[in-house]
């Protein structure tokens, strides 16, 4: 009888649902999760530091979310039409997110950023989009261009990280170094008149913006007549209830939302300026600026009910203080552990996010992170995984949740200590 792991390797390429680069012998199949713990089909328990890539910000099987989903599920899963939960959720997003004059739903962060870019192109009548090197915005051309570049071409030329995109699609993408306002401004200046949007994660993976960087990027976009799109798939409802735009005090024209908003259920949304979002009104079809937007499951009432329950929990007093305290504890603990082990590394992140970059240099952008020792990073991540820390071994990004406790972080640090000692050369 093949094991679940063997069956998974036989049917899924790489035994994975995507972007989970485990050696075949480490393949597992998960059975269930509760709080910040997951169990595999062999009964092994793991402490989760990826939390559905940050989608389960309240924890797995969180009772309020599970209850809301169960109550909605018996009322019908999907109508591809406005329901009370979707309506309430959109209204709450307009209260929470500063740029949100209007909202439309889709089913993922990938779709949300794709729609935001399409809207920006339609609104401005221009084709080019600027992104920052190393940023992920979803599985499309813009999201994957220069995601993990190796040749480090001269800016603004993109390097595809994924095959399957045409040269024409890549020609419309400009790449700039994050945190380098001067270089970004120069690229914007050279392409003004053809630049539709600047797309940016306000917290770039786990790299914080330098003071004034986001405001400078916003000004550069405005001066060029391009739209500023914040990809808040990660930062939305995580760095603050109002997302990265509230946390950093810079309001974009459009924001892409996903992940934490759905409490683990599939969701995506674009929230933004009414005059831009109104381009999707179906009665505008035939207008050259009309944007097609359709999603069979976007805004479905089960995801919307999960999202409403999630947001209600996040609005409770002390939530963000708790998430930030946990994040600080993890980052400080990691720094102390790495120092004690004599390992040169930089611990990044903000709020409930952390990442380790194995370098003794400053990390401000993709290239400074790329210079790090990736062999050590891989050994560290696989060592943690082997010792029962569930995480994505393709990135050192760690996601915390409201379900994590100080004891879970202590456990993580103990495991990190052993891993550094035994596995990291
Ligand atoms: C910043 C950012 N944008 C977009 C996405 C894509 O979201 P999804 O996986 O829901 O398509 C991700 C996913 O990791 C992300 O981190």
SS3 letters for 114-181?
Answer: HHHHHHHHHHHCCCEEEEECCCCCCCCHHHHECCCCCCCCCCCCCCECCCCCCHHHHHCEEEECCCCH
The whole-number average pLDDT for the span 374-383 is 93
| CB distance 109 to ligand 1 below 6 Å | yes
Q: Domain map of the chain by residue range? A: 4-62+317-423, 75-314
| CB distance 395 to ligand 1 below 6 Å | no
- For residue 373, the model assigns a pLDDT of 85
Tell me which residue has its CA closest to atom 7 in ligand 1: 109
Residue 271 contacts residue 117 (beta carbons within 8 Å): no
| CB distance 231 to ligand 1 below 6 Å | yes
Atom of ligand 1 nearest to the CA of 258: 10
Q: How far is the CA of 103 from the centre of ligand 1 (A)?
A: 18
Q: How far is the CA of 108 from the centre of ligand 1 (A)?
A: 7
Fold of 4-62+317-423: 3.90.1150
Distance CA 96, CA 363 (A): 31
| Residue 425 pLDDT exceeds 80 | no
Atom of ligand 1 nearest to the CA of 266: 10
Q: Is 222 helix (H, G, I), strand (E, B) or coil?
A: helix
- To the query of whether residue 259 is one of the catalytic residues in this protein, the response is yes
- For residue 147, the model assigns a pLDDT of 96
Per-residue pLDDT of 68-109, as tens digits, reads 999 999 999 999 999 999 999 999 999 999 999 999 999 999
The whole-number average pLDDT for the span 285-305 is 96
Q: Is 410 helix (H, G, I), strand (E, B) or coil?
A: helix
The whole-number average pLDDT for the span 323-334 is 98
- To the query of whether residue 136 is one of the catalytic residues in this protein, the response is yes
Q: Peptide bond preceding 86: is omega within 30 degrees of 0, i.e. cis?
A: no
- What residues pair up with 176 in beta bridges, in sequence order? 132
| Residue 395 pLDDT exceeds 80 | no
Architecture of domain 75-314: 3-Layer(aba) Sandwich (3.40)
CA distances from 215 to 97, 155, 176, 219, 225 (A): 17, 21, 16, 6, 15
- For residue 341, the model assigns a pLDDT of 95
Question: Over the chain, what is the mean pLDDT?
Answer: 97
Per-residue pLDDT of 203-250, as tens digits, reads 999 999 999 999 999 999 999 999 999 999 999 999 999 999 999 999
| CB distance 110 to ligand 1 below 6 Å | yes
Where residue 372 falls among pLDDT bands split at 50, 70, 90? confident
- What residues pair up with 257 in beta bridges, in sequence order? 269
| CB distance 310 to ligand 1 below 6 Å | no
Where residue 200 falls among pLDDT bands split at 50, 70, 90? very high
Where residue 374 falls among pLDDT bands split at 50, 70, 90? confident
Residues of the chain above pLDDT 70, percent:
100
Residue 195 contacts residue 188 (beta carbons within 8 Å): yes
| CB distance 137 to ligand 1 below 6 Å | yes
Q: Which of 113, 115, 233 is the best mutation target for the ligand 1 pocket, counting ligand atoms within 8 Å of the beta carbon and taking the most?
A: 233
Q: How far is the CA of 110 from the centre of ligand 1 (A)?
A: 6
The single residue of 128, 172, 180, 259 carrying the catalytic annotation is 259
CA distances from 142 to 133, 174, 252, 258 (A): 11, 9, 18, 17
- To the query of whether residue 128 is one of the catalytic residues in this protein, the response is no
| CB distance 113 to ligand 1 below 6 Å | yes
Q: How far is the CA of 52 from the centre of ligand 1 (A)?
A: 11
Give 133's contacts (C-beta < 8 A, 6+ positions apart).
146, 149, 155, 175, 176, 177, 178, 365, 366, 367
| CB distance 399 to ligand 1 below 6 Å | no
Distance CA 297, CA 107 (A): 6
If we measure between CA atoms, which residue out of 36, 321, 33, 351 comes closest to residue 208? 351
Tell me which residue has its CA closest to atom 3 in ligand 1: 137
Q: How far is the CA of 425 from the centre of ligand 1 (A)?
A: 32
The single residue of 115, 136, 247, 366 carrying the catalytic annotation is 136
């Amino acid at each position: 009888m093949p094991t679940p792991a063997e069956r998974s390797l036989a049917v899924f390429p790489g035994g994975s649902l995507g972007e989970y680069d485990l050696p075949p012998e480490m393949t597992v199949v998960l059975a269930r999760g509760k709080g910040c713990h997951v169990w595999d089909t062999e009964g092994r328990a793991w402490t989760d530091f990826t939390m559905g890539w940050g989608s389960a910000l309240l924890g797995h099987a969180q009772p309020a979310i599970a209850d809301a989903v169960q109550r909605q599920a018996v009322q019908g899963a999907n109508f591809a039409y406005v329901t009370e939960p979707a309506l309430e959720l959109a209204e709450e997003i307009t209260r929470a997110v500063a740029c949100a004059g209007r909202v439309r739903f889709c089913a993922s962060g990938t779709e949300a950023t794709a729609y935001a870019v399409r809207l920006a192109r339609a609104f401005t009548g221009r084709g080019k989009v600027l992104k920052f090197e190393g940023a992920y915005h979803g599985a499309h051309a813009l999201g994957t261009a220069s995601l993990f570049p190796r040749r480090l071409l001269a800016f603004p030329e993109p390097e595809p990280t994924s095959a399957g995109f045409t040269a024409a699609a890549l020609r419309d993408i400009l790449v700039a170094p994050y945190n380098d306002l001067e270089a970004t401004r120069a690229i914007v200046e050279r392409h003004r008149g053809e630049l539709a949007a600047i797309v940016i994660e306000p917290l770039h993976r786990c790299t914080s913006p330098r003071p004034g960087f986001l405001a400078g990027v916003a000004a550069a976009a405005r001066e060029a007549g391009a739209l500023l799109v914040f990809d808040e798939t990660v930062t939305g409802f995580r760095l603050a209830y109002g997302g990265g735009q509230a946390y950093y005090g810079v309001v974009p024209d459009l924001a892409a939302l996903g992940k934490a908003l759905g409490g683990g259920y599939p969701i995506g949304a674009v929230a933004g300026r009414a005059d831009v979002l109104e381009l999707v009104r179906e009665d505008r079809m035939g207008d050259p600026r009309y944007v097609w937007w359709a999603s069979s499951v976007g805004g479905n009432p089960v995801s919307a009910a999960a999202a409403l329950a999630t947001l209600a929990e996040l609005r409770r007093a002390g939530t963000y203080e708790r998430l930030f305290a946990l994040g600080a504890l993890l980052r400080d603990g990691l720094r102390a552990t790495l120092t004690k082990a004599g390992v040169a590394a930089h611990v990044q992140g903000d709020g409930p996010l952390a990442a380790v970059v194995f370098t003794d240099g400053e990390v401000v952008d993709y290239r400074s992170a790329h210079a790090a020792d990736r062999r050590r990073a891989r050994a560290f991540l696989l060592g943690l995984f082997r010792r029962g820390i569930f995480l994505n071994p393709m990135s050192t990004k760690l996601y915390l949740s409201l379900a994590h406790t100080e004891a879970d972080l202590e456990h993580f640090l103990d495991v990190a200590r052993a891993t550094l000692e035994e596995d990291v050369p």
